Chain A
């Protein structure tokens, strides 16, 4: 009796999460209908985001926030991947326990810091440094990308480290026994063995960077314009949604649901690829 109850309960919980996913997609899709019909495919290429006087209509296009999201994520990934790999290799292969343990714990704690704290730190401390080194306003694409990188590094490093730790000792020791150097062991034994986990960590971090709202809202400048240089302010999908949600009506609201849908689909695809292709292969 209790066994059956438990089975039904866990079945319900499991299906609920599936229905939540479908439900969210359906809601986004329904609410985005008005904008989809009004703008269609041009929505992706239009640079204007302007409500008219009464807030009842206007012209809305997602090009700038989409580009802003992609560029800030690209900067973040370019900076984060090499650093995170360095950290993971250092922790698994190079560091002694006395250094490795505290660093490991520090990285796990860093991964748990709420993003708003990164945003505040970024605006009040990091932005002036970026301004003095790279010029520009201090807030903009580069600052947002760098802080995003700092945010995803711990996450990426922690997962990659765990993946590298799964390399069997026998394999490594055989390589050393054949006269391989440390670098060769890392390059030819550990990396190929843990490739699935590492790529998975990168893709999950990518998903996180794409959807990050609070920290980026503080740092990207929130301006509806194509960045002419890397230090210029622009905007991203989550930032635009957060800034305009309270005041938007009708068509503008629908356009924001359209943007949310685009972000949802992109993130969904990325996570699916990570899950089924790379993480799946590791198990084999």
Chain B
């Protein structure tokens, strides 16, 4: 009797559950927007019951998996050029903007006290400056006691979209520097860590080191970060406000699937090392794409606060509208 009841209950429950089972889809790729995607997916689940599963494995892995159609969408910090998108049959649009900071470990020098000119950044990452008291670094930092110690630069051990965007900025300062997800570093002393957390841990442990990490890791770990000289020659502290100012200068157009690397923007108050991160969709999966764009649309509308809270910059409203129009045209909205 009770057994029968149990079975009936189980059957009823499973029927009911199947009836309300909402959409579920998965993506993987860029780890740079990992924290904000996580916030968005859990809020989206709470609001709509739809489950989005995003695994931050890295941009290269994202591109690889979407090309093989292993996932429903992919994240990449490196935008793909039109011919690549056409070849792999993909749609692309940006989701959010983030920034890269130069975090350091120098005794007695607090957050935001170190000012790095464009020449100094170039000298550190190309190995022209070997010690912290090199003239190119001390110039403009007269008030600081920079030690006569060798500079250890901390870079990524894995291929990374963060590195791509950082080397894009280095390339803007010094055209000889090749933009790459994993360049051959010529800096004086180099140590590498896996992912943003590995680089952060190395900076924390190694005295007189400097490295590039995503802004939210600086906030989370309380690492000191440098002011960086922007295109207009002004030193800018990495803050959400200065990222927002930088984001205004990004030019996006749906004509080339929003292909744009937005690093080193104009504007007197812009922080120079900003980067957009992108979503890739397979062109042939129209129904699934509609589910993904519904999620992104929801995030564009409701996710700005969560993004800003994590140190990201939401896309400008005009860009969001243009992306929505792009979906309409591609019939994936």
Q: Using a CB–CB distance below 8 Å, which chain A residues touch chain B?
A: 50-51, 53-55, 123-124, 127-128, 131, 137-140, 217, 221-225, 233, 239, 242-244, 246-249
Contact = CB atoms under 8 A, between A and B. Distances in A.
Given A131-B206, A247-B158, A222 B182 contact: no
Nearest to A239: B157
B191 A249 contact: no
Nearest to A224: B184
Given A51-B182, A140-B191, A246-B60, 11 more contacts: A53-B180, A55-B181, A124-B201, A124-B205, A131-B206, A137-B189, A137-B206, A139-B202, A217-B194, A244-B159, A247-B181
Contact of A127 (B84, B189, B192, B205): B205
Contacts of A249: 60, 64
Interface residues of B, number: 28
B252 to A, nearest CB: 23
Contacts of B58: 246-247
Contacts of A239: 157
B57 interface: yes
Nearest to A135: B150
A242 B198 CA distance: 13
Contact of B205 (A54, A55, A139, A224): A139
B190 A243 contact: no
B206 A138 contact: yes
B61 interface: yes
Interface string B170-184: 000000000011101
A225 B191 contact: no
Interface of B: 57-61, 64, 84, 152, 157-159, 180-182, 184-185, 189-194, 201-202, 205-207, 209
A252 to B, nearest CB: 9
A54 B207 CA distance: 36
Given A50-B184, A123-B201, A243 B60 contact: no
Contacts of B180: 53
15 contacts: A51-B182, A53-B180, A123-B202, A123-B205, A128-B207, A131-B206, A137-B209, A139-B205, A222-B191, A223-B190, A223-B192, A233-B190, A233-B191, A247-B58, A247-B64
SS of A interface (majority): loop
Given A50-B184, A222-B192, A243 B157 contact: yes
Candidate in A51, A138, A246, A249 with the most chain B CB atoms within 10 angstroms: A246
Contacts of B189: 137
B205 A138 contact: yes
Contacts of B159: 51, 55, 244, 247-248
A50 B159 CA distance: 11
A225 B158 CA distance: 15
Closest 10 A/B residue pairs (Cβ):
A247-B60, A222-B157, A247-B159, A222-B192, A243-B157, A221-B191, A246-B61, A243-B158, A233-B191, A223-B190
Nearest to B178: A53
A124 B191 CA distance: 15
Given A244-B159, A249-B64, A137 B191 contact: yes
A221 B194 CA distance: 10
Contacts of A248: 60, 159
Nearest to B159: A247
Nearest to B190: A223
A248 B159 CA distance: 8
A103 to B, nearest CB: 31
A217 B191 CA distance: 12
Contact of B158 (A124, A131, A139, A244): A244
Nearest to B155: A223
A183 to B, nearest CB: 43
Nearest to A225: B190
A246 B191 contact: no
Contacts of B190: 221, 223, 225, 233
Nearest to B180: A53
